[in-house]
Amino acid sequence: MSNTIPAEFQIKEQIHQQRYLLNGELRAWAGDSTTVYSTISSTEEYATTALGSIPDMGEKEALEALDAAQKAYNKGQGVWPTMHVKDRIECMEKFVKQMETKREEIVKLLMWEIGKSLPDSQKEFDRTVEYVYDTIEDYKQLDRDAAKFHKHDGVYAHIKRGPLGVVLCLGPYNYPLNETFALLIPAIIMGNTAIFKPAKHGVLLITPLLEAFQNSFPKGVINILFGRGRAVAAPIMQTGKVDILALIGNSKSANALQNQHPKSNRLRLVLGLEAKNPAIVLPDADMKLTINEVVAGTTSFNGQRCTALKIVYVHNDVSETFLKQLATSVDGLKFGNPWEDGVKLTPLPEPQKPEYIQELIDDAIAKGAKIINKKGGKRFDNYIWPAILYPVTKDMRVYQEEQFGPVIPVVSFQDIEEPLDDMADSNYGQQVSLFGKDVYALSPLIDALVNLVCRVNLNSSCQRGPDVYPFTGRKDSAQATLSVHDALRSFSIRTFVAFKDNDLNNETIENLLGAKLSNFVSTDYIL
């Protein structure tokens, strides 16, 4: 790996984040801090790079943030939850315009903090900005569709969607901007107030946005905390004052947090959790296309995607060809620092990840698997080359655990019932990739698979995007649905004004509409 870092990507100054956003103020932090390290080396001889530091907050600040969010919501009577939709949209537009000016800084931090390649970091930023604009457009449409009165059985109804309250928002490290904002933006725009704690990696990249958050929204609408989840999220949940837990992470943390809430019946969950998406390669699969998609699905961002292909089932008839071609393709990928041209494999942000992947490999080998590719398992200071492991069996850890890293377990099958049964028995249920052409084989499979997962990708690797499509999962993989459109629904509830059809009510409503005093009862069409 070359250690020549282009001038524009060098870390010239560390970022010591000493401010946090609470109740509309950027407060100074004087307490303990945690150093943020990148596993990327800045020197010829390998050493991690210190990028700066973040506040190490605790219960006190967590409860202050909760208090600020609660006051801003003010039991549904706050300025924000009662504001006219078009005014909330204006705040969001002000925010996103400022966000767009921070592209360079954020992209650079994405590369250093989580090791994402330059094109993927740029894509994450652009995709997030687009997500905000699409959310605004969708919300306008939602509001336009609701700008009317229904009438049934002599009762009129003016039905809209309203906020639920205070949202605790926790995002993941692999998409610290995109996935976090895919929760936060719809949550806020619907009139909720939020406490947001960035993920364990990908924290400093929030710094350039603090001022934009501060000057775009009324005080207390968004409060940003730094620190460990256990230290700040747990005390907030224990109060029972959180109305929505929005978390992209794993079911263990989701369960631990929701169990802290004393009245879980009041808690809405919006969760994107772990997955072990399989690829199923049928005997008639187009091999070239399949290899390309399986390589992308298993190795993009080093397999650190909830949608990554984490187990590959290949039919016995084609397993030899498949493994040979897969090995050549995986070993042909380029490893390097995120800014290097054509780089596909990049340093892992979690220092202990190569060791964990090594454990999975060792366990699989001890139980009878082999590493199929020459470079498989090759160790670097901050990386381990994706090992193609075959044949993988159910007793292996790599079969059972969500590896979330660079290792490719391959299982062979003779009867399609084998992968289907495995999927039915699995705790996961997000997506599957199905490779084949014969419609007589595909049709019954598709019909069964749509009930085991929530997206069947035909001759394509699994992915979340385009973000307008529903993103969800069954079993331990998700709760609620995210997409530009669905997220607005997930973070709101239908609420309405109803009245019996009589002269008094009709006149009152006509006057109400004419006076344009209510932000809720309004048939104004937002363009």
- Spatial distance between the Cα atoms of 95 and 403, rounded to a whole number of angstroms: 36
> Least distance to ligand G3H from the beta carbon of 328, Å?
25
- Spatial distance between the Cα atoms of 71 and 32, rounded to a whole number of angstroms: 27
Residues that bind ligand G3H (CB under 6 A): 174-175, 179, 305-307, 463-465
> Least distance to ligand G3H from the beta carbon of 506, Å?
48
CA-derived radius of gyration, the chain: 25
> Least distance to ligand G3H from the beta carbon of 405, Å?
13
**281 and 448 Cβ atoms separated by less than 8 Å:** no
**246 and 196 Cβ atoms separated by less than 8 Å:** no
> Please, which residue, 262 or 465, has the CB nearer to ligand G3H?
465
Helix (H, G, I), strand (E, B) or coil at 87: helix
> Least distance to ligand G3H from the beta carbon of 462, Å?
7
> Please, which residue, 469 or 496, has the CB nearer to ligand G3H?
469
Helix (H, G, I), strand (E, B) or coil at 131: helix
Close Cβ partners of 515 (under 8 Å, ≥ 6 residues apart): none
> Least distance to ligand G3H from the beta carbon of 404, Å?
9
Whole-angstrom CA distances from 309 to 277, 319, 499 are 5, 17, 53
> Least distance to ligand G3H from the beta carbon of 307, Å?
4
> Please, which residue, 277 or 319, has the CB nearer to ligand G3H?
277
DSSP summary character for residue 334: P
**373 and 388 Cβ atoms separated by less than 8 Å:** yes
> Please, which residue, 179 or 293, has the CB nearer to ligand G3H?
179
> Please, which residue, 465 or 470, has the CB nearer to ligand G3H?
465
DSSP summary character for residue 470: -
State the helix-helix crossing angle for 229-238 and 59-73, rounded to 10 degrees.
50
> Least distance to ligand G3H from the beta carbon of 179, Å?
6
**487 and 186 Cβ atoms separated by less than 8 Å:** yes
> Please, which residue, 53 or 307, has the CB nearer to ligand G3H?
307
How many CB atoms are located within 10 Å of the residue 421 CB? 11
> Please, which residue, 351 or 465, has the CB nearer to ligand G3H?
465
